[in-house]
Amino acid sequence: MEDIRLEQGLHEECGVFGIYDPEGSCAQTTYYGLYALQHRGQEACGIAAINDREQSFYKDVGLVSEVFDRETLQRLNGTMAVGHVRYATTGAGARENAQPLTIKYVKGTLAVVHNGNLVDVDRLRARFEYQGAIFHTTSDSELIAYAIAQARLHGPSVEDAVCRAVGELRGAFSLIVMSPRKLIACRDPWGFRPLCMGRKGKAVLFASESCAIESVGGTLERELDPGEIVVVEEGQVRSIRDNCRGQSHMCIFEYIYFARPDSVIAGQSVHEARVNAGRLLARRHPVEADLVVGVPDSGLDAARGYAQESGIPYGVGFVKNRYVGRTFITPDQTSREQAVRIKLSALRSEVEGRRVVMIDDSIVRGTTCRQITNLLREAGAKEVHIRVSAPPFIAPCYFGTDIPDRERLIACQHSLEEIREIAGADSLGYLPLEDLHQLAPKAACGFCDGCFTERYPVDLE
């Protein structure tokens, strides 16, 4: 089961959160941090905590508000905690694949939360299985936990084990690892996925996005560099940079869709990046129209940018039903079409009799974009001009974004004119590839844009 996205294509990433707080209440803080990261995954969630070096955890399928109650959080409270919200990009969405992944071994316990995908899963799994490992999940995150535990058996410390284990991994991973005495955060050497650090009094916080740190009353301190490992032990923070390569390939889609607009990633406001996308679209694909609207939620900021640049008034064209939960099942195309109407409706008083520019963040499979267009037409729109704040998808993602194979990407199967006809639009314009990196001019990082270019930072062979 999954929380449907209007375009039935892209799904959010996972979200991770970690805290060391000598004053306790870590589970409750983690709960609120995960709540702020709920947009990154709605299938499952979990929290693990350390109290007097004893580990406890709870995880289940569902939203953060569905899985945890006051009593559960009170049982989990301690001086350290890690949390996770999950969308399954590898492994089924079953309860056993929910995180944190917790293991007991001869050196003690570990809890691991992971955002991203490895690209050498088969090799790693085969290696561990030949060594006698028994896997309890189908998630590649369990491979990371095994790699760290194995390295710890032959190393002097947990941080040394993390350093040696992740040095052998290929792909995208932002990790938080919790042992009975230490909290360790780590980014992959390519920097695909965001991970930041903050403070709240004596507490040290880690999160996928800055919005989670700020939502619990913390202050963003900095982002971890690609390959960096940060260790927190009894309140002392130190950095290990043995795996840092000086490279950075942040997933560009963090700015277009994944991240919350109030987050700052690599020094770039996500909200400003989306407004920039709308401005670029207005310059590249102008049209005579009466109103600019955005498809909620990630299309709204881009719509504002388009309106500001074009001078066409911005309006609220859609009303989103925010009470359609994760259990809303869409097994076939007919159900998906009905799901669009349940989750989204056009505002007739705004669009009737008007020529409308509709801004969306992407078109992936193209299975429901016509239904969204029809909502505007049925509400009386005279014309509907679709503008997309990303280039066409021409290749799958191997690093944790649910972008399917080429056979299911509409841009690989149809021309621009054919996509326009399928969408039922009067005109269609994508963000040009050459404008893509102008979205985030303040970002102190490079980007991975393989889903748009078929050029990847990691050798996939």
Say if CB 178 and CB 78 are below 8 A apart: no
User: Which residues, 6 or more positions from 298, have their beta carbon under 8 angstroms from its beta carbon?
Assistant: 256, 257, 261, 274, 361
Task: Give the C-alpha separation, 298 to 37, whole Å.
Answer: 15
Nearest to 101 by CA among 87, 89, 79, 83: 83
Task: Give the C-alpha separation, 168 to 165, whole Å.
Answer: 6
Task: Give the C-alpha separation, 151 to 128, whole Å.
Answer: 12
Q: 188 vs 121, 168, 261, 387, 458, CA distance in Å?
A: 15, 10, 24, 34, 12
Nearest to 229 by CA among 242, 210, 245, 220: 242
Task: Give the C-alpha separation, 80 to 29, whole Å.
Answer: 10
45 tagged catalytic = no
Per annotation, catalytic residue among 14, 45, 163, 448: 14
User: Which residues, 6 or more positions from 376, have their beta carbon under 8 angstroms from its beta carbon?
Assistant: 293, 317, 346, 351, 356, 358, 384
User: Which residues, 6 or more positions from 422, have their beta carbon under 8 angstroms from its beta carbon?
Assistant: 366, 369, 370, 410, 414
Nearest to 64 by CA among 183, 215, 230, 278: 215
Q: What is the b/e burial string over 330-357, where b = at least 16 CB atoms within 10 angstroms of the residue's CB? A: beeeeebbebbeebbebbeebbeebbbb
Task: Give the C-alpha separation, 179 to 183, whole Å.
Answer: 7
User: So which residues are the catalytic ones?
Assistant: 14
